[in-house]
Amino acid sequence: MQRRKGCIFLPLAGMGLCAKSMKYFAVFLASLGISWAATPLVASLAVRLRLVDEPNERRINTRPVPTGGGAAIFIGFILPVLFALPMSRFLAGLILCSFLMLTLGLVDDRRSLSPKAKFIGQVIVSLLLTFYGVRIDFVSNPFGGMFYLGRLAIPLTIFWLVAVTNIINLIDGLDGLAAGITCIACLPLFLIAFQRGQEVAALLTIALAGSSLGFLRHNFNPAKIFMGDGGAMFLGFMLGAISVQGTLKGPAAIALSVPVLILGLPFFDTVFAIVRRFWRGRPIYAADNGHVHHRLLAMGLSQREAVMVMYLVSSFLGILALRIAGMNSAASTLTQIVAAVILLLGVRRLGTSTSGRFKDRLGS
């Protein structure tokens, strides 16, 4: 009887797992297809609304390109999610706040908001999301146990959401770069959520991956449309919110360093940009040509080659993050330190080897 019972229930468990996997796959395909189909329509509308990115001394594009493609990414993300998930307080808050962040970015694309106004808007939207239960209540102690944040939970959550929002926004400098890195970052976040049985976080992540990939079909070099600040801020905000619900929730919570590692390349690029501007006595929000993708172009790489290099580095960091998720605290901390040092030296070496070539190739 015991054997027959096992024979009955094991296939049933397998069928349940298979059905759940098919649901994720269906959401991914739906998000990809909707985003892919909606992007040309959004591009046509952007031209009518004069949402066009004109070439300038910092831009890589040499011709006017319609922007505002973040609207297509949002549509591709939201429709399958609404169909696949029951409405909840968390989901309602996430939809509302992500729409507000997208709108803030679209307004910036159209009217060029001041950095201060944009930052205040990002803080307000992030604060609003915390009222829907999205909070970093605890982080892992590298030496074992947990740090419970208490009153620091809301300020740290706001800082995290605003930071990731701007990290993706700052790296959106080459055709297909932000969309591709977002898609790559979604995969380890999805696997971690899936392994923990966090269905909502897993579905949100796979939907974001699909909508990013569908848009990438039109955004890869030579881009037919840009995502604009609206798209970059939406993607960054969603990655920040999903990582809070996925990698930072549950009985085996991972430290903030794991999602930081997943986004390691844009994270270090942003840190270096802040340090570089501070060292030169410039406002930290002032644009320049010192980002990693600019430096790769200065080395003589084409746009496609530079983007592929950054894809490869991001993929490696994502795989490393998955390995860290299964390690104990000591091994995980040591691995993170080694990865951070290697990335730090690599970015610094890249800056040193290309510093003399910016004037000729980038006009800085």
Q: Is the pLDDT of residue 80 over 70?
A: yes
- Report how far apart, in Å, the C-alpha atoms of 287 and of each of 1, 69, 108, 162, 291 are: 71, 22, 15, 18, 10
Q: Return contacts of 268-273, CB within 8 angstroms, 24+ apart.
A: 268/343, 268/344, 268/347, 269/167, 269/170, 269/171, 269/347, 270/163, 270/166, 270/167, 270/170, 270/171, 272/347, 272/351, 273/170
Q: How many angstroms separate the CA atoms of 358 and 335, rounded?
A: 34
Closest CA to 201 of 91, 87, 73, 127: 91
Average pLDDT, the chain: 81
Q: At what angle do helices 89-111 and 70-84 cross, to 10 degrees?
A: 170
3-state SS of the chain: helix, strand, coil percent to 5? Answer: 75, 5, 25
* C-beta contacts of 276-282 below 8 A and 24+ residues apart: none
Q: Which of 204, 172, 317, 169 is nearest to 257 (CA)?
A: 317
Q: What is the pLDDT of residue 288?
A: 63
What average pLDDT does the segment 161-186 reach? 91
Q: What is the pLDDT of residue 275?
A: 74
Segment 135-164 shows an average pLDDT of: 80
Tokens in use for 343? 């990335």
Looking at per-residue pLDDT, the higher value among 322 and 24 belongs to 24
Predicted local distance difference test score (pLDDT) of residue 344: 67
Structure tokens at 266: 């844009």
Structure confidence at residue 120 (pLDDT) = 96
Residue 328 scores a pLDDT above 90: no
- Looking at residues 109-121, what average pLDDT do you find? 90
Q: What is the pLDDT of residues 211-228, one digit of tens each?
A: 999 999 999 988 999 999
User: Tell me, what's the pLDDT at 22?
Assistant: 86
Over residues 254-294, the pLDDT tens digits come to: 456 677 778 888 887 777 777 777 777 777 666 666 677 77
Q: Read out DSSP for 31-78?
A: HHHHHHHHHHHHHHHHHHTT-EE---SS-S-SS-EE--THHHHHHHHH
The residue extents of the domains of the chain are: 24-361
Summarize the confidence of residues 217-244 as an average pLDDT. 92
Q: What is the pTM of this model?
A: 0.83
Confidence of residue 44 (pLDDT cuts 50, 70, 90): very high
Mean pLDDT within 49-76: 82
DSSP state of 362: T
144: alpha, beta or left? (left if phi > 0; alpha if psi -120 to 50): left
Lowest-confidence range among 114-123, 164-173, 335-344? 335-344
Answer positive or negative: Cα dihedral of 49, 54, 60, 62: positive
Token code pair at residue 172 = 């959106």
E strand spans, 273-336: none
Q: What's the pLDDT at 346? A: 66
Higher pLDDT, 299 or 102: 102
In the prediction, which pLDDT does 181 show?
A: 93
Residue 159 vs residue 55, higher pLDDT: 159
Q: Give, for 146, the enclosing helix (H) or strand (E).
A: strand 146-148
Higher pLDDT, 324 or 32: 32
* Structure-model confidence comparison of residues 43 and 152, the more confident one: 43
